[in-house]
Chain A
Amino acid sequence: MAQGYHKDNREFIRALGKTGDLVTIEQEVDWDLEMGAIVRRVCELKAPAPYFKKIKDYPGFEAFGAPLATYRRLAIALGLAPDTPIPEIGKVYTERTSKEPIKPIIVDKASAPCKENIILGNEVSLFDLPAPMIHDGDGGRYISTWHFIVAKDLDTEFVNWGMYRQMLIDEKTMVGPVFPFSDMGKMFYTKYVPKGLPMPFATVIGCDPLAGIAACAPSPIAEVEFCGMLMGEPVELVKCETSDLYVPSHAEIIIEGEIIPDVLIEEAPFGEYTGHRTSPRAPRTVYRVKAITYRNNAIMTISNMGIPTDEGQLLRSFSLGLELEKLLRGQGIPITGVYMLLESTHHLMVVGVKPAYSNIATQIAQLAFGSKLGPWFHMVIVVDDKTDIYNKDEVIFMLSTRCHPARGIRIFPHAVGTPLYPFADPVDRAMNKGAKVLFDCLFPLEWKMADIPTLVSFRTVYPQEVQEKVLANWEKYGFKK
């Protein structure tokens, strides 16, 4: 292989088993809350990913939970050592995704594992798949929590892979939110709906881990090509049974059908990545199913979103931060890096920058909030180039000591938001309204050198030779290394 990756979900599961990042559960578990509760506890404890071999009511199916809920598992997905530091994982991601996009290749149906079982027409029943009831109180059984939906633009060749949750209604109907500012929302609500046309879709469940990362990545590059860049090889696609869409041939389960334009059905509530159930139960987009194809012994994938850490939080924090880093560097801003604190559920972005000119923090915030990625976060902290942005303690220290409570905090009202923000007013949730805030932790450039407070730390207020002497003698003094 050109660079580290796993061709499918099954290779990835085997790799996790070898590094101790997987627990295989042989005893039967119930799809109705028990599987969800296990995955939730795994997320909260940062425990190994659970691989369920036996699911109540569903012989012949397996399930895999919390596939990328730790940086260890993310590193393994990229073919790196499990203990690779976060900045190093980010470097590999950026290197791979800064090369030329890699177009996919088409394979025969006969060689596509996802076509091992093909269910069409009246035989289709979503209840034949082990869709879990993830949290008690959810609006329904969420079949799609770690997956992506393939959809094609009506007027162009643009194909989108995006992760939009889907809840079961009946044998052939699913429902879920498709926000108007999302890629699929723009395609469906501005092109198909005005013409009264259904939009073909294919839901891909149990994809390889890099396809999942690509579907979450807020990159302008087509996700299938982005996935190829992460893999270093073309993605193998196979044609759908009921449309001209193409799906990864090694995926576990494919659900095909149409998103219909002239009806909405109640969806939610659902425990989301914000750690809350926030978005109101409301009429949402309807998916009508025409075909299901799946591998033998198909493995359902489950993400259980809630309080940190789940893969939604981890991957969006990771890729949003890195894509915003590309954006800011592309604009010539002298940043040292961008990091989204995991505990912030990708709401808080930390940027390190050389304070080259006045109000550079405002420029950073305007670029970040004004980008396509803006609706997904609402806080930016800008610190200087000497601060370790990956060190949460250091960032909190800078925020608490260098951000002026009036001058340093800048509010950006009337922004695009999502219904998932727990702090949002009910009307704002319904209308996708939000607001943003910048915490500028840079000292003003007009301050005289003598007015700038001096950081009092071991590495800043002692001469180099004293630091070296203390470090060299540390154990001799009686301290542990």
Chain B
Amino acid sequence: MKEYDTFVLTDLDEVREDVEQEMLIRDLTPGRKKYRCEFVKALISKNPEKYPDRLWPRLGQGQWVGQPWSIKNVERVDKIPERYL
């Protein structure tokens, strides 16, 4: 199981569950690349057991929410135009 976190910019009640959505997540795997950011299309749930990986939500000013959610990354999204890759 991998662990990620993400910044939630809406009220937590407004977060959509179980629908594919685009979001920026940070990889929390220890080591040199910890906190590497990636845009993904993903399914998320507030049930920590529903999807294979763990997602820790944070609020907009970095506040730690405390309860983990779960996430399934469907596909990676590249935001950088190809001519700059």
Q: Offer 12 A-B interface pairs, CB within 8 angstroms, sorted by A.
A: A57-B31, A57-B32, A58-B32, A127-B32, A137-B58, A139-B7, A168-B37, A173-B80, A198-B84, A260-B81, A269-B62, A288-B80
Please give the distance in Å from B3's CB to the nearest CB on chain A.
14
Contacts of A286 in B (CB 8 A): 80
Asked if B79 is at the interface (CB within 8 A of a chain A CB), the reply is: yes
Q: How far is the CA of A314 from the CA of B38 in the complex (A)?
A: 36
Within 8 A of A (CB), among B35-77: 35-38, 58, 60-64
Q: With A32-B34, A128-B32, A140-B37 known to touch, is A263 a contact of B81 (CB < 8 Å)?
A: yes
* A255 to B32 Cα, complex, angstroms: 18
- In the assembly, what is the distance between CA of A140 and CA of B6, in Å? 11
B residues near A217, Cβ cutoff 8 Å? none
Asked if B61 and A127 sit within 8 Å, CB to CB, the answer is no
B36 near A127 (CB under 8 angstroms)? yes
In the complex, which residue of chain A has the Cβ closest to the Cβ of B63?
A: A137
Cβ contacts under 8 Å, B84 to chain A: 198, 258, 260, 288
A277 in the interface (beta carbon within 8 A)? yes
* Residues in chain A near residue B37, CB distance under 8 A: 140, 168-170
In the A-B complex, the 3 residue pairs with the smallest Cβ-Cβ separation, listed nearest first, are: A137-B62, A169-B37, A269-B62
Residue numbers in B under 8 Å from A288 (CB-CB) = 80, 84
Question: In the complex the two chains form, what is the Cα distance from A127 to B7 in whole Å?
Answer: 21
| Binary CB contact string for chain A from 194 to 216 against chain B (1 if under 8 A, 0 otherwise) | 00001000000000000000000
A468 contacts B by Cβ under 8 Å: no
B62 pairs with A139, CB closer than 8 A: yes
CA distance A141 to B24 in the complex (A): 15
- A133 at the A/B interface (Cβ < 8 Å)? yes
> Which single residue of chain A is at the shortest CB-CB distance from B7?
A281
Q: How many residues of B contact A (CB 8 A)?
A: 22
Give the number of A-B contacts (CB < 8 Å): 63
Q: Measured between alpha carbons, how far is A382 from B27 in the docked complex, in Å?
A: 51
Number of interface residues of A (CB under 8 A): 32
On whether the beta carbons of A266 and B24 are closer than 8 Å, the reply is yes
Q: Which residues from chain B sit less than 8 Å from chain A, CB to CB?
A: 7, 9, 24, 26, 31-38, 58, 60-64, 79-81, 84
Known: A173-B80, A262-B81. A168 touches B62 (CB 8 A): no
A residues in contact with B31, CB < 8 Å: 57
Does any Cβ of B come within 8 Å of A102's Cβ?
no
- Give residues 233-289 of A contacting B (CB, 8 Å): 258, 260, 262-263, 265-266, 269, 277-278, 280-281, 286, 288
Q: How far is the CA of A58 from the CA of B35 in the complex (A)?
A: 16
| Residues in A neighbouring B7, C-beta threshold 8 A | 139, 266, 269, 281
User: Closest Cβ of chain A: how far from B74's Cβ, in Å?
Assistant: 19
Q: Measured between C-beta atoms, what is the minimum distance from B63 to chain A in Å?
A: 7
Instruction: Decide yes or no: A140 and B62 within 8 Å by CB, A262-B81, A281-B7 being known contacts.
Output: no
For A127, list chain B residues within 8 Å (CB): 32-33, 36
Chain B residues near A280: list those with CB within 8 A: 9, 60
Q: Which residues of A lie under 8 Å from residue B36 when comparing CB positions?
A: 127, 168-171
* Complex interface: chain A residues within 8 A of B24 (CB): 265-266
CA distance A57 to B9 in the complex (A): 32
Closest approach, in angstroms, between the C-beta of B61 and any C-beta of chain A?
5
Confirm or deny: A44 has a beta carbon within 8 angstroms of a beta carbon on chain B. no
Among B26, B36, B37, B60, chain A packs the most CB atoms within 10 A around the CB of B37
Q: Does A428 contact B (CB under 8 A)?
A: no
A82 → B minimal CB distance (Å): 36
Query: In this complex, what residue of B is CB-closest to A286?
Result: B80
Please, which residues of chain A bring their CB within 8 A of the CB of B81?
260, 262-263
Does the CB pair A141–B35 fall under 8 Å?
yes
Does A136 sit at the interface, judged by CB under 8 A? yes
Point out the residues of chain A lying under 8 angstroms from B79, CB to CB: 263, 265
Give min CB distance, A50 to chain B, whole Å: 22
Of A138, A141, A262, which contacts B62 at CB under 8 A? A138
Please name the residue on chain A nearest to B33 by beta carbon: A127
Q: With A and B bound together, what is the CA distance between A288 and B7 in angstroms?
A: 23
CB distance from B24 to the nearest CB of A (A): 5
